[in-house]
């Protein structure tokens, strides 16, 4: 049982690491700030959750597991807030979201500022 949990933990850790790499690729490859923030927050939430879950399963139930839970709780609190702040700052400084094909299909006005202002 313990052995099985250990290996499941290993698998989850690996999956988390994979998601982190995917997120990093997204940060590098995505076209503008907002999409990149989106990719980065995948790393923060999805990647970190899987990693921490995997580590918790690997270590078994002990004091360190509690610390992992607390770490997870903090990441859940802070990283969306940080992503929000980043996006907000980008928006406030006048960066318009890149919306690509969407604009052409809908035939919307080319005034990107207006379309971007969804909120």
Partner 1 sequence: MSGPLAMLDVGAIINGVLLVMLVVLMCAIARVRNLLTAILLMGVYSLVMAVWLTVMDAADVAFTEAVVGAGVSTVVLLGAILLTRSETAAISWKAMIAPGLAVLVVGGLLVFAAQDLPDFGDPASPANAYVGKLYLEMTGGDIGAANVVTAVLGSYRGFDTLGETTVIFAAGLGVALMLGFGERAMSDRERGRMPVNVSAGEDHVVLRVMAKLLIPLIVLYAFYVQFHGDLGPGGGFQAGVIMAVAVILHALVFGLDATMHAVRPGVARAIAALGVLVYAGVGIANIVHGGTFLNYDYLFPPGVEARLPDAAHHNWGQHFGIMAIEAGVLLTVAATMITVFYGFAGRSAEAVAVVGGDDTHGQNP
Residues found near partner 1 in the complex (CB under 8 A):
74, 77-78, 81, 84-85, 88-89
Closest distance to partner 1 from the beta carbon of 82 (Å): 9
Helix residue ranges per DSSP H, 1-119: 2-29, 33-42, 48-59, 63-92, 101-106, 112-116
CA atoms within 13 A on the CB side of 7: 3
DSSP state, residue 93: T
Residue closer to partner 1, measured from CB, 2 or 119: 119
Closest distance to partner 1 from the beta carbon of 83 (Å): 10
Q: How far is CA 28 from CA 4, 22, 106, in A?
A: 36, 10, 28
Closest distance to partner 1 from the beta carbon of 98 (Å): 20
Closest distance to partner 1 from the beta carbon of 1 (Å): 27
Residue closer to partner 1, measured from CB, 18 or 64: 64
The interaxial angle of helices 2-29 and 48-59, nearest 10 deg, is: 160
Residue closer to partner 1, measured from CB, 82 or 99: 82
Residue closer to partner 1, measured from CB, 76 or 99: 76
């Amino acid at each position: 049982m313990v052995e099985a949990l250990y290996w499941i933990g290993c698998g989850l850790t690996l999956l988390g690491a994979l998601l982190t790499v995917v997120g990093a690729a997204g940060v590098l490859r995505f076209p503008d700030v907002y999409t990149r923030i989106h990719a980065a927050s995948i790393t923060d939430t999805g990647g970190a959750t899987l990693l921490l879950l995997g580590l918790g399963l690997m270590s078994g139930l002990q004091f360190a597991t509690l610390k992992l839970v607390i770490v997870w709780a903090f990441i859940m609190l802070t990283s969306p807030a940080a992503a929000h702040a980043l996006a907000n700052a980008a928006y406030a400084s006048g960066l318009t979201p890149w919306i690509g094909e969407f604009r052409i299909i809908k035939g919307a006005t080319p005034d990107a500022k207006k379309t971007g202002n969804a909120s």
